[in-house]
Structure 1
């Protein structure tokens, strides 16, 4: 069994593991002592139903994803609003399947010492860091994952947010004790600052990194260096 320290990295909505590895390549290159795991979300996304491909920026994204392998556009869930007229509350449809998938993956390739995520993957990372704590061992969502999975030592949340549906409040109410680095783009127009702050408020040990970019991975060497140092400090090499 490998004794190398491992980091699980979860991509954003309509991305996949290969694309996410490309996005993080400069950071992971600076951390050769760690193993990074980049899975594909278990849900396939019909991109034409999710975005306007007549816009050049959306078509460029689709072209990038298509050019980088055969996995296509993937997701950890589909977020759907409720309908008060028929009593539907809305929620993350497909979340349970992703919990099953990640649980089996961690049994196969773990233990995992840190969990990183971007956008939808960042929301999922925050939920996982909470659910894998001993104090949430009896949470209903925890039953979708093997009981013996350890709590990660740290997490990095890129453009993250708290799940907005009330049925997930119990995931956050006990508080997240895992040290998390929240990476926020000053020009992020997709994840509003108040959504990130809602997640930050439930973290017992929240660290912050604001970068001048938008909804993306920081590009400045200084900012990437801070992410590298955060991992080394919280998941030190043995």
Structure 2
């Protein structure tokens, strides 16, 4: 039941504030400040948005992570995301302070978004609430950069019947950290917009990428496949 409240909190509403805020979730081994540095060109190119960069609660790989896995596992092979609830609580606290127009995840942060979006549909059936907020919000948009398949949520993804078209899936064909075919699979599952580049596991910030982000955030679907 706890997951539901994160889902509900991330719904967001611009009617509550004139500030257009975006919550950014870094990857494993990163932090809020390091992600802010990575986003310098993006934040400069999108001055109408206020970007918020929290740091995940678990120490990992010289930085921080949203969850841990057992030795030898990856997020797309793991049976459990250890400590995920701590991260969900952190996001709940962020949501109490403000409302977000969009949530942007990179790598592990993007996997987190895929997992919670998939889980949201199951909560709709269990709790009888209408609408099932996170996966079906008419206000919040989601950018998944360099995502992989969240293996512990396989059942939720398999049973997904209601897609979320308000997603942008950005990934590189040369990504050697998270398999690009898994990012493509998630994009197809959610029927989301895609932005495919020829690079690796990073958040592109060139002119074409920034145009794609702007088209998606301001104009909805319409980011360019290439």
- TM-score by structure 1 length? 0.71
Match of 1:28 in 2: 43
Asked if structure 2 preserves the Cα contact closer than 8 Å seen for 1:6 and 1:37, the reply is: yes
Match of 1:100 in 2: 89
- 1:80 Cα deviation from its structure 2 partner: 2.7
Q: CA RMSD in A?
A: 2.9
> What SS is found at the alignment partner of 1:183?
strand
Match of 1:226 in 2: 212
Asked if structure 1 preserves the Cα contact closer than 8 Å seen for 2:45 and 2:210, the reply is: no
Match of 2:149 in 1: 162
Pair member with larger Rg: 1
- 1:197 Cα deviation from its structure 2 partner: 2.5
Match of 1:192 in 2: 179
- TM-score by structure 2 length? 0.75
Asked if structure 2 preserves the Cα contact closer than 8 Å seen for 1:116 and 1:156, the reply is: yes
Q: Which runs of 5+ in 2 are unaligned?
A: 1-15, 222-226
Match of 1:78 in 2: 68
Q: Which of 215-224 and 171-180 deviates more?
A: 171-180
d(CA) in 2 for partners of 1:97, 1:224: 32
Q: Deviations over 1:58-85 (max 9, x none)?
A: xxxx6xxxxxxxxxx11000123799xx
Number of aligned residue pairs: 195
d(CA) in 2 for partners of 1:44, 1:25: 24
- 1:148 Cα deviation from its structure 2 partner: 8.3
CA pair 36-29 structure 1, distance change in 2 beyond 3 A? same
Match of 1:122 in 2: 110
Match of 2:33 in 1: 18
Q: Which runs of 5+ in 1 are unaligned?
A: 48-61, 63-72, 84-88, 141-146
d(CA) in 1 for partners of 2:48, 2:83: 34
